């Protein structure tokens, strides 16, 4: 571990002077898997897939596995794909973390099939770009040459292929995901994992859901791709060379209960209570044991005429130590989120502000996601309109 931290700190030091603390932190965090001991199972692996997807779900604090019913279901719960009403949906999301240092993007498409089923494909990218490579900043004669500085990116990718089908009151779905992680020209990793989800309509107002992520464990195999010149540059500073390694993302189980309450003829209130169960060791959560850690969260959504929406959620409860010589013990922190949505015929725009007031240790962010609802009737009507205009000319 000491050699790992030494490599990271020396590699980043020349450039870290020009970076904010948050940027140096996120780069070091993304580089860390490179230098992990292959014999240790990492507790936090592929954490970019735990951020969330779509401003609607994140505005509800991640309490969304029983509520999800669109293209974003490929991430939240693929069983929700079976509830898509349109022939095709296209989704796009963009978010920036650490004051714009890290970018999180998603693009996906869902195609409705027969018998209340749907197939979806999507890709997620979480990355830090334009990082300075300062390995050759200092010439062999000791002089500093800024022309030797080049740029590289650290990026994580996840490619999803998902399917959902409704069987009466029960809906089932699954996602196969391919993980690709790249640290510039120095290393890359490939991995594969499976997710399975289910939703059950208890009554006209109540749904329950379960989602098993990385159900078979997700393995990432790291390969070092550094050039001989890069290796020599590292060794010349007294660092040990990184080696090929393997990461394992252990399974986790998500549970959710959704309740729908009409408010007259034009409004409704939807709420979801969720519990995330982790089996990778004790965490600083409200409910934690050697067997499992349980993280509760709650989200609500208010809708008006299925056009305008307001959302809120609370989660990420943590037990944190008080680092103050005048006090001792722990304090409970949490993450509050809010959001809003607007649906205009074929386009839905959702916004979320996560971690209001930076109340928890998680980075706050402004999120925007789009959804386009396309149908065969839309294409045929536009085609007929085009034909009429051509004949008129």
Query: In terms of DSSP bridges, do strands 287-288 and 293-304 run parallel, antiparallel, or are they unpaired?
Result: antiparallel
Quote the longest CA-to-CA distance of the chain. 83
Q: What's the CATH number where 356 sits? A: 2.40.160.40
Range of the domain at 364: 2-392
In the chain, the number of structural domains is 1
In the predicted model, is pLDDT for residue 386 greater than 60?
no
Cite the DSSP H helix spans in the chain. 2-16, 21-31, 55-59, 73-76, 228-236, 376-392
- Helices assigned H by DSSP within 182-271: 228-236
Q: What is the pTM of this model?
A: 0.80
Higher pLDDT, 282 or 71: 71
Helix (H) or strand (E) segment spanning residue 91: strand 88-97
pLDDT digits (tens, 9 = 90+) for 182-206: 998 889 999 999 999 999 999 999 9
Q: How far apart are CA 80 and CA 70, in angstroms?
A: 7
Residues 216-267: pLDDT tens digits? 888 888 898 888 888 887 777 777 777 888 888 889 999 999 999 999 889 9
Task: Give the chain's mean pLDDT.
Answer: 82
What pLDDT, on the 0 to 100 scale, is given for residue 22? 40
List the single range of 74-78, 243-247, 279-283, 346-350 with lowest mean pLDDT: 279-283
Q: Which of 331, 369, 373 is nearest to 64 (CA)?
A: 369
Least confident piece of the model among 37-46, 202-211, 259-268, 323-332: 37-46
Using alpha carbons, select from 217, 225, 164, 227 the residue that is nearest to residue 192: 217
């Amino acid at each position: 571990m000491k050699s790992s931290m030494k490599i990271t700190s020396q590699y980043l030091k020349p450039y870290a002077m020009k970076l904010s603390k948050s940027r140096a932190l996120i780069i070091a965090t993304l580089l860390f898997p490179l230098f992990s001991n292959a014999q240790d199972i990492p507790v936090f692996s592929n954490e970019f897939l735990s951020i969330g997807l779509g401003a609607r779900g994140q505005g509800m604090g991640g309490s969304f596995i029983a509520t999800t019913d669109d293209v974003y279901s490929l991430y939240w719960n693929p069983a929700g794909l079976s509830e898509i009403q349109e022939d095709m949906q296209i989704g796009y999301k963009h978010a920036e973390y650490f004051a714009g240092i890290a970018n999180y993007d998603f693009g996906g498409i869902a195609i409705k099939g027969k018998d209340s089923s749907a197939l979806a494909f999507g890709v997620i990218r979480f990355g830090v770009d334009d990082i300075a490579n300062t390995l050759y900043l200092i010439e062999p004669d000791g002089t500093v040459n800024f022309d030797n500085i080049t740029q590289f990116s650290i990026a994580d990718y996840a490619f999803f292929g998902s399917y959902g089908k409704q069987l009466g009151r029960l809906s089932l779905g699954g996602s196969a995901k391919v993980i690709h992680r790249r640290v510039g020209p120095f290393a890359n990793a490939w991995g594969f994992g499976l997710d399975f989800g289910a939703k059950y309509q208890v009554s006209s107002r109540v749904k329950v859901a379960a989602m098993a992520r990385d159900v078979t464990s997700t393995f990432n195999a790291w390969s070092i791709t550094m050039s001989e010149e890069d290796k020599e540059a590292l060794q010349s500073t007294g660092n040990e060379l990184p080696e090929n390694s393997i990461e394992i993302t252990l399974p986790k189980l998500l549970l959710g209960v959704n309740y729908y309450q009409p408010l007259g003829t034009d409004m409704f209130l939807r709420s979801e209570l969720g519990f995330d169960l982790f089996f990778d060791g004790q965490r600083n959560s409200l409910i934690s044991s050697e067997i499992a850690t349980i993280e509760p969260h709650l989200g609500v959504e208010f809708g008006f005429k299925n056009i305008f929406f307001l959302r809120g959620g609370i989660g990420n409860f943590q037990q944190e130590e008080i680092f103050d010589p005048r006090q001792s013990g722990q304090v409970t922190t949490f993450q509050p989120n809010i959001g809003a949505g607007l649906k205009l015929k074929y386009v839905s725009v959702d916004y979320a502000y996560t971690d209001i007031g930076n109340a928890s240790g998680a980075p706050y962010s402004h999120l925007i996601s789009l959804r386009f609802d396309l149908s065969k009737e839309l294409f045929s009507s536009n085609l007929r309109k085009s034909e009429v205009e051509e004949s008129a000319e």
